[in-house]
């Protein structure tokens, strides 16, 4: 693979042998960072669709079931008149009890417990709903009623995820800079080692671009080799993390989605890193050769 005649003995460079491993490490880290970003993007999208347009109204239990019914009726009638509300639905007693099961188990007859009533309210996305005002009006009519606006904690969560995503981009940027630095160092060393041969090429009429092409082709080949290696190491690692996330019931995270776009994105990683290495090598050679006669 990548076997090609070159005028300079670049394949004999000791440093060149380490470059694929360094690039493999960079691609491995990039793949983990990209996967993390994609998962968080998906999660945010899912939370946004699922929770951004909903609020929950909670009515504390009254002394009697009849009183509960009255209070529920008052709240529902107010919600029905309120503009900006698309739909609302009071959770049944069975649904409420099933929500409590993880804490109280199957042994207890939860129906006898004083459980607050919950109403799922879907807000019309096209209109603005003043949740604080709604809460005040409801509390004025039915004392003790509270409104839980999911958008509040969701916006905090989205902010947190955005910070994490910025950090992931910063990591990618650092990886790119580290790759550039490594290739610059390796190329400069190559230029020093092969100075005599490069001078001969110049003296027989080689353009700088002719010499730079040889370094660039070498960097591309090593970059692809290292990139493929890094991706080959990253994929099982990601699969393992995904499996562990599912096994431990990390329900906030979406299930791994192997869409063609994601697959293409991951396959593009080694190519992108190899291209970066190639362009860096070419630029480094062109800049350094300008100092030669």
Residues within the interface to other proteins (CB under 8 A): 5, 7, 9, 12, 196-197, 199-208, 210, 290, 293
Give the H or E element holding residue 53. Answer: none
| CB nearer to other proteins: pick between 7 and 120 | 7
| CB nearer to other proteins: pick between 200 and 267 | 200
| CB nearer to other proteins: pick between 147 and 289 | 289
Q: How far is the CB of 11 from other proteins (least distance, A)?
A: 9
Structure tokens at 77: 């009638």
Q: How far is the CB of 8 from other proteins (least distance, A)?
A: 8
Closest CA to 99 of 115, 121, 83: 115
Q: How far is the CB of 24 from other proteins (least distance, A)?
A: 27
Structure tokens at 284: 């480094």
The 8-class DSSP code of residue 8 comes to S
| CB nearer to other proteins: pick between 204 and 264 | 204
| CB nearer to other proteins: pick between 8 and 38 | 8
Q: How far is the CB of 210 from other proteins (least distance, A)?
A: 6
Residue 67, judged by CB atoms within 10 A of its CB (0-12, 13-18, 19+), counts as exposed
Residues 72, 117 contacting (CB under 8 angstroms): yes
Q: How far is the CB of 9 from other proteins (least distance, A)?
A: 4
**What is the rounded distance in angstroms from the CA atom of residue 125 to the CA atom of residue 121?**
12
**What is the rounded distance in angstroms from the CA atom of residue 186 to the CA atom of residue 192?**
10
The 8-class DSSP code of residue 259 comes to -
């Amino acid at each position: 693979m990548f076997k090609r005649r070159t005028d300079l003995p670049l394949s004999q460079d000791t440093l060149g042998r380490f470059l694929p491993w360094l690039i493999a490490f960079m691609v491995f880290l990039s793949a983990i960072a990209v996967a993390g970003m994609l998962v968080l993007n998906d999660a945010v999208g899912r939370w946004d669709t699922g929770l951004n347009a909903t609020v929950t109204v909670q009515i504390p239990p009254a002394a009697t079931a009849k009183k509960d019914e009255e209070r529920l009726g008052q709240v529902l009638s107010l919600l029905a008149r309120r503009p900006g509300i698309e739909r609302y639905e009071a959770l049944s007693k069975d649904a409420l009890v099933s929500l409590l099961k993880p804490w109280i188990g199957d042994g207890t007859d939860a129906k006898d417990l004083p459980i607050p009533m919950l109403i799922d309210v879907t807000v019309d996305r096209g209109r603005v709903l003043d949740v604080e005002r709604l809460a005040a009006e409801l509390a004025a009519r039915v004392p003790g009623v509270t409104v839980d606006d999911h958008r509040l904690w969701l916006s905090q969560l989205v902010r947190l995820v955005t910070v994490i995503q910025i950090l992931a981009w910063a990591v990618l940027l650092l990886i790119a800079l580290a790759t550039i630095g490594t290739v610059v160092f390796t190329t400069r060393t190559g230029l020093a080692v092969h100075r005599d041969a490069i001078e001969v090429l110049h003296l027989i009429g080689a353009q700088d671009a002719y010499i730079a092409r040889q370094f660039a082709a070498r960097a591309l080949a090593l970059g692809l080799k290292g990139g493929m290696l890094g991706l080959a190491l990253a994929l099982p690692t990601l699969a393992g993390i995904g499996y562990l996330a599912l096994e431990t019931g990390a329900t906030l995270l979406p299930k791994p989605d192997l869409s063609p776009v994601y697959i293409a994105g991951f396959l593009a990683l080694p190519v992108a890193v190899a291209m970066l290495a190639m362009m860096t090598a070419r630029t480094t050679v062109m800049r350094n050769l300008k100092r030669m006669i």
